[in-house]
Structure 1
């Protein structure tokens, strides 16, 4: 999804100023090894900047510090997550304290989730086809709708 020039510039600036838990997790997620999902950091997506994003899985990893427990921020995060969900992005929120406690475990969990989501995305087309090999059945919003 395209982002505005301003959002892209803000993302670039944020890449140079990662918080400590973001830096700890990025040190683990940026490794590009065979058969491992690729993540981007401070990735612009529409009007938002995602802490980490795996395009193949459409997975956003968000590191939540103390501010995310405040009522106003909780409401903002819920609106943001709902918007991202409508765009087909899964949001996985991780408390910063979990990254401090065991960044390797958080990175492994993020990779595992990304692998699962990629597997679901690649398996979905074959599971929606009819046994006759024709086009997939109509999606649920169209079912029951008269045309």
Structure 2
């Protein structure tokens, strides 16, 4: 038994979770803590969509409430650098629209494609919405496994 000083924290009792977790030069720790809170407080439409996307449709892995820089994406597929934002009625406010424009600009500057989906669409048919999202994932301009396009006159 140790004498003097305090005992080390038990499993799960450290202050690391309160500070925001892991070390990343791209993500500030408060953003990670905020993302964790948002995962607990997801809207009904976000939950419905997440229930479909978490099953890894067509092998794509999605993350929910994922920090990207100072912003937190509702859902994203990091391998395709694709962000999905579920917009409820709160996004109709002018100040919120300006915030959304800044966030979209930041995401695009950092190589992410952004797809905005209305909460009403998700609530109406979450399965079709998830299928439509997955259909948009493959980027036609970026297919490194296929190699360069054939030259003129070469067989395909």
Which bin holds the TM-score, normalised by the shorter protein? 0.7 to 0.9
Matching residue within 57, 80, 86 for 1:63: 86
Where does structure 1 differ by over 3 angstroms across 4 or more consecutive aligned residues?
Answer: 123-131
Partner deviation per Cα, 1:14-55 (whole Å, 9 max, x = no partner):
11121100000000000035x421100000110000000101
* Residue in 1 that maps onto 2:127: 104
Q: List gaps (5 residues or longer) in structure 2.
A: 1-24
Bigger fraction of residues in helix: 1
Deviation at 1:79, TM superposition (A): 1.1
**Which residue number corresponds to residue 28 of structure 1?**
52
Deviation at 1:12, TM superposition (A): 0.9
Aligned to 2:30: 6
Q: Is the 8 A contact 1:43 1:49 kept in 2?
A: yes
Work out which of the two has the higher radius of gyration on C-alpha atoms and give 1 or 2.
Answer: 2
- Higher RCO, 1 vs 2 (CA within 8 Å, ≥6 residues apart): 1
Aligned to 1:140: none
TM-align CA RMSD:
2.3
- Map 1:1-147 onto structure 2 (within 5 A): 2-32=26-56, 35-114=58-137, 116-117=138-139, 120-123=141-144, 126-127=147-148
Q: Distance in 1 between matches of 2:150 and 2:31?
A: 39
Scaled by the length of structure 2, the TM-score of the pair is: 0.74
Unaligned runs of 5+ in 1: 132-147
